[in-house]
Amino acid sequence: MTNDVIPTREGGSGQVRVGPIVDPARLPEAVRLYRTVLDLPPGDPAVSPRLLAGLPRNGGSVIGAYDGDTLVGFAYGYVGRDAGTGEVYHYSQAAVVARAWQGRGVGRALKQGQREYVLATGLTRMRWAYDPVRARNAHFNLDVLGARGRWFVRDLYGPDTHGSGHGGPAEPTDRLVVEWDLTGAPSPVAEPGADRLPGWGETAPAGDDLLLGVPRTWSRTEPEPVRAARVRAAVRDALESALDQGYVAVSCRTPAAPTGGGVPHDTAYYRLRRGV
């Protein structure tokens, strides 16, 4: 593995090491971690150790985060090619962190480890997809890493009938696809004020930008299937419309209060901007 080391923020044995998983015998452990974190049922195909074994030999990445000898995080990806432009990039299919280690910097270390690995292959761009109603993931991808949300795909994986959801009807797997320039560092996004803050799935102007409201904590909305479906549909329509107009998602956070009003505690706000 590489020498990418991060200190634990609480508990643990002191440090987490991040680097490529080079021993094929460790790949089933990565698959078990993936299944556990996503709470996949026995019949779900998840990911194959044989696939993971083949990726590094063909331009892909298989990155692990270890506490001592215990795998606590895992990410993998492969080489992609844009069907329209022909651009070649690395596509990060998944990244998971053991529940006990979430919120302690492991996810960021995994992505940085993947970044270093990909740069060594000669590629300078990485893409991946995430559920746009999950504000915490959006903030991590856009604000912490500095990726940009450029494409929206409806029902990318087909209806979601399994996993760690609320047990209700199948949900659409709408995804926002981001692109990460691996050669630069994240830069703070200037945030012009807004006259008003939009509700969930609504947009409002903020200077030349647009704000889009989403639930701050999706897990509190998810158990209400009717309401969740309505919010998802509104976010889908708003993102598709904005991206079609040339906007790009550059941030997701709770902004400063607008003139004469407070910030709703249950809402996060995408910032969408042209020309980036």
Q: Which two tokens stand for residue 35?
A: 């299944």
Distances (CA, A) of 253 to 25, 207, 211: 41, 17, 10
Calculate the CA 33 to chain-centre distance. 18
Q: Provide the residue type at 9 as one letter.
A: R
Q: Which residues fall within 8 angstroms of residue 21, CB to CB, at 6 or more apart?
A: 27, 30, 52, 62, 63, 64, 74
Own/partner long-range contacts of 218-224 (Cβ < 8 Å, ≥24 apart): 218/131, 218/133, 218/134, 218/135, 220/266, 221/133, 222/165, 222/166, 223/166, 223/168
Beta strand 209-215 with 267-274: parallel, antiparallel or unpaired? antiparallel
Instruction: Say how far apart CA 194 and CA 205 lie, in whole Å.
Output: 6
Q: By three-state DSSP, how is residue 38 classified?
A: helix
Calculate the CA 6 to chain-centre distance. 20
Instruction: Give the per-residue pLDDT at 9.
Output: 41
Q: Which two tokens stand for residue 221?
A: 């909305």
Distances (CA, A) of 59 to 31, 54, 84, 158: 20, 9, 21, 27
Distances (CA, A) of 24 to 28, 37, 111: 8, 21, 21
Q: By three-state DSSP, how is residue 224 classified?
A: coil
Q: Where does residue 70 fall: left (phi above 0), alpha (psi -120 to 50 degrees), or beta otherwise?
A: beta
- The class of domain 1-123 in CATH terms is alpha beta
Q: Which two tokens stand for residue 182?
A: 């691996």
Regions of the chain with pLDDT less than 50: 1-3, 7-13, 163-166, 259-260
Instruction: Give the per-residue pLDDT at 8.
Output: 43
Residue 63 · residue 117 · CB < 8 Å? yes
Instruction: Say how far apart CA 269 and CA 215 lie, in whole Å.
Output: 9
Q: Which two tokens stand for residue 97?
A: 């962190």
- Dihedral, 41, 42, 46, 50 alpha carbons, nearest 10: 170
Residue 75 · residue 98 · CB < 8 Å? no
The pTM assigned to this predicted structure is: 0.89
Instruction: Give the per-residue pLDDT at 163.
Output: 46
- The domain ranges of the chain are 1-123, 124-276
Q: Which helix (H) or strand (E) holds 64?
A: strand 61-67
> pLDDT by residue (tens digit) across 144-193?
999 999 999 999 998 876 544 445 567 899 999 999 999 988 888 888 77
